Every structure is written in C-alpha cells, then in structure tokens.
Amino acid sequence: MPGVDSEKVIEIKNLSKKFKNILAVDGLDINVFRGDVFGFLGPNGAGKSTTIRMLVSLIFPSNGEIKIFGKSLNENKNFILKRIGAIVEKPDFYKTLTAFKNLEILGRLSGCDTSKKRIMEILDVVGLADRAKSKVKTYSHGMKQRLGIAQALIHDPELIILDEPTTGLDPQGMKDIRDLILHLSSELKKTIFLSSHILHEVQLVANRMIIINKGKKIVEGSVNDLLNAKSLEVEIKVDDAGKSEEILKSCKPELKVNQLNEITLKLSVAENEIPELNKILVDAGRQVFSIVPKNSLEEYFLDLTEKDGNVHNN
C-alpha cells in the first residue's frame, strides 16, 4: 500500500446535508491524508454521492465544514478545485470525436497544456494510447471509464475523487481500473478518494476506509486492521472438495467448512489465515484453482450492526 504522511488533504467535520425531510448526510467526519487510497464505502443510498457532490462544490452543505489542502472549501473554491480531478457519476464525452480531441478540447477549456506530448502521456497512463485516434463511440464501457480518469488527470491534480468507477464493468474492466488506481497512487503519487459499494474492490487497492450508512459513519480505519479483525467468507475451488474438506477439518477442527459442489468449498476464515490454508491443501497433494473472498459490503455492514453499536476508530 502507498506510504501516507500526516498532512490532511481532506478534513470533513460534522458534515450534514438535508433535502426537505430527508437527511442524506448526518454529522459526518472524515480525514484523508496525503498518499492515501481512501475507500469511501456504503450501500446504495448511504449518502456517498451526496458527500462527493459537496466535496466538488456541486451542492452546498446544510451544516459542517469541508477543508481541502488545509483550506476552507467555501472560502477557497477556485484554488482548491484547480488541484482536484474528479469523476462524479458517469463521465461524458463528444462521442463522434476521438479520445485525443476530447482531451484537447477539455484541456483548452481548463487552460492546461494541450500539446500532443502531454495528451499522449495521459492516454498512455490510462492504457488508451493505441486508441487515441478512435472515436469515443467505438469505445467499450471500460474504455470510457478509463478515458474519464484521463479527463480527470488533464490538469495534473493532486487529489483524485472517483465515484463508483467500476460500476457496470466486467471483471477485466474492473481489474483495469484497479491497476490504474494503484499506478496513480504508487507511481504518480496522487491521493485517491474512492467511492464504492463493493467492499472487496476497495480492499484490493485502499489503505484506509470508512463505511457509512444513512449518512452516518459506521466504521473507519486501516483496511488491513478492519478486515483482519473479521472473518471473511471465501470460496475455494479445488480438484476434490470432499477430500479437501477432510484435510482442512483434520488440521483445523475449528473451521466451519461447507461443501457447495464437487470442486467448491465455502468457509469463514480470517484474511491472514488464507495463505496457511492454501499451503495445507497444496502440501497434502490437492490442486487449488482459486480462493475468492465472497463478503459483500452488506454482509459486513450487517455484521457490524449486530454488535453493540459501538463505533470503531483506528
């Protein structure tokens, strides 16, 4: 995971937003530090998009304070927004123009460097350099998402805000976006604020996260600390599920293992125990084809709310 220092890039205090009788965001506190890939998680309707729209000044808070780069967003909007790149909802383009031309037009509107070298550099970062001269209407959904991130990078921002960037993507498209996020963080040293309702997706790229529901914080902290403290539901595909179940139960009697079919086992296990289970099976001569976490955010959220209601902070 990327290194993180103590400088707060985003500091949100007691943030609330009310639409008539609906309290969409309710007293939210968030701290995002420079170098974070920060996961902003919650079920659909939890208040994530409303919070992001406040972060980029599309709507105004009913109460509370937003500081970005140490300055009040309300008092320093232009200064702050010039240093932010964002995808809010679905990115949009001139579909009959090429990717290159779309970025060139946006760059000119933003007063950015629109040289061929700069635009091709950005397209290369998002893996679209070879399709620079293709019209956007020929792009797949995943390619449009990556072009949207290129659009957010045109002015070389310090902070990138992504609202559900993997929505509607196939597994390869989701992997492409994950790899791009990691590249932006580790190689280009960007701070990333990543909204999603898919816990597993965020787990693969984020170092810190917050989960909200009904506009309130449920849990916040280091991804590793939070997820290692809880059992994951995993599915293991092997050459022989029956024999593999016997092996695991003999070595780990406390494990709850269910055989789903001839090649698939389902079990609950702490994340840091997964490598050991894999080794046990391989050393016993079994072939392990995959180990896939199956926890959804909803399952994780329900597990938290079944506890005594305490809010965890790390």
Q: How far apart are CA 284 and CA 309, in angstroms?
A: 43
Whether pLDDT at 293 is above 90: no
End-to-end CA, the chain: 17
Whether pLDDT at 108 is above 70: yes
Binned at pLDDT 50, 70 and 90, residue 51 comes out as very high
Comparing C-alpha atoms, which of 140, 147, 137, 157 is closest to residue 56?
157
The arithmetic mean of pLDDT across residues 215-232, rounded, is 77
The arithmetic mean of pLDDT across residues 139-156, rounded, is 92
The arithmetic mean of pLDDT across residues 245-270, rounded, is 87
Binned at pLDDT 50, 70 and 90, residue 302 comes out as low
Q: In this structure, is residue 281 part of a structural domain?
A: yes
Do 155 and 264 lie in one domain? The reply is: no
Do 179 and 285 lie in one domain? The reply is: no
The arithmetic mean of pLDDT across residues 203-231, rounded, is 83
Whether pLDDT at 312 is above 60: no
Q: How many CA atoms lie within 13 A of 214 on its CB side?
A: 3
Q: In this structure, is residue 287 part of a structural domain?
A: yes
Average pLDDT over all residues of the chain: 87
Q: Range of 238's domain? A: 230-305
CATH of the domain at 211: 3.40.50.300
Q: In this structure, is residue 1 part of a structural domain?
A: no
Q: Is the dihedral of CA 165, 168, 169, 175 positive or negative?
A: positive
Binned at pLDDT 50, 70 and 90, residue 281 comes out as very high
Who contacts 288 (Cβ-Cβ below 8 Å, separation ≥6)?
236, 237, 238, 278, 281, 282
Q: How far apart are CA 158 and CA 70, in angstroms?
A: 13
Who contacts 306 (Cβ-Cβ below 8 Å, separation ≥6)?
none
The arithmetic mean of pLDDT across residues 14-25, rounded, is 94
Q: How far apart are CA 37 and CA 207, in angstroms?
A: 6
The arithmetic mean of pLDDT across residues 54-80, rounded, is 95
The arithmetic mean of pLDDT across residues 157-184, rounded, is 90
Q: Two tokens at 92?
A: 């949009």
Question: Which has more confidence, 272 or 206?
Answer: 206
Binned at pLDDT 50, 70 and 90, residue 295 comes out as low
The total number of structural domains that make up the chain: 2
* 3-class state of residue 237 by DSSP: strand
Binned at pLDDT 50, 70 and 90, residue 1 comes out as very low
Position 184 scores a pLDDT of: 93
Whether pLDDT at 104 is above 80: yes
Q: Which of 151-160, 228-237, 276-285 has the lowest mean pLDDT?
A: 228-237
CATH of the domain at 259: 3.30.70.250
Of 177, 212, 227, the last residue of a domain is 227
Binned at pLDDT 50, 70 and 90, residue 86 comes out as very high
